[in-house]
Amino acid sequence: MPRLRADISGKRLRELVEAALGVFCRQGYERSQVADVAKVMGVAVGTIYLYVEGKEALFDLVVRHTASTDTDWLDDIEIPVPAPAPGSTVEFLRGVFGREGQWPHLQAALKARRAPDIRAELDGVVREQYRLMTRHRRGLVLLMRSALEFPGLAEVFVLGLRRRLLEGLAQYLVSRIAVGQVRPLPDVAATAAVLTQTIAWANLQRPFDPGLNALAEQAVEDATVDLIVYGLLPHPSQT
């Protein structure tokens, strides 16, 4: 089949990526099929194969799409998109997750012996994590749904990026406990995990709960940050 420039059908390619993203987020990698995406788009299965050579190519395309800040790069690829080389999707994510400076507030706090204003510092550290999850919500849902199904994905996502974040948060909490700015905690590692999972619930589960998805986004962010920050501050009797 002759390869075509994506910009011939750029709009349709974007529609395909968005439709596939929804399918993978709902069903995970294993249960999703090209036919499911075709059904969402209301086209024949053969139409999808004009753009991608199969499910592996489609998943790789969606992963790269969710990691990008814009969609202009889709105009420069050729179609049909071939199946990725073995391991290349995971290697791409390894590069994305390994970028420096992903958590500037947390990294700045780790360099300081103590906070000039612990409430403000905690707010910045927690809100940074919250807004990162908000910004990358769809990509994170995609990875969570497929982490145990796509070869190597759990290693770079769950055991890679998340482990680095938890270790950084635990190190930060220990440093502030040492100078009396965060209250003593029963288990620092468990607290770091609960902190991130609380933010994850607000961002990745709550929006899809029909009983809670009508809550205002800013109100949920502020409530989540407030609960975490004031749960970490020393009790009046400890100050």
pLDDT tens-digit readout, 43-54 = 999 999 999 999
Q: Per-residue pLDDT for 173 more than 90?
A: yes
Which CATH architecture is the domain 4-84 placed in?
Orthogonal Bundle (1.10)
The confidence score (pLDDT) of residue 100 equals: 78
* Residue linked to tokens 């190597």: 152
Q: Per-residue pLDDT for 3 more than 90?
A: no
> Distance (Å, rounded) from C-alpha 93 to C-alpha 127?
24
Cβ atoms of 38 and 52 within 8 Å: the answer is no
Higher per-residue confidence, 76 vs 110: 110
The confidence score (pLDDT) of residue 167 equals: 96
160-169, 173-182, 220-229: least confident range: 160-169
Domain 94-238 annotated CATH 3.40.50.300: no
Average pLDDT of the segment spanning 60-70: 90
Task: Please report, for the chain, the start and end positions of each structural domain, with discontinuous segments joined by +.
Answer: 4-84, 94-238
Strand ranges in 70-159 using DSSP code E only, listed in sequence order: 78-79
Q: Give the pLDDT band of residue 238 (cuts 50, 70, 90).
A: low
> Distance (Å, rounded) from C-alpha 211 to C-alpha 224?
18
What is the rounded average pLDDT for all residues in the chain?
91
Q: What is the CA radius of gyration of the chain?
A: 21
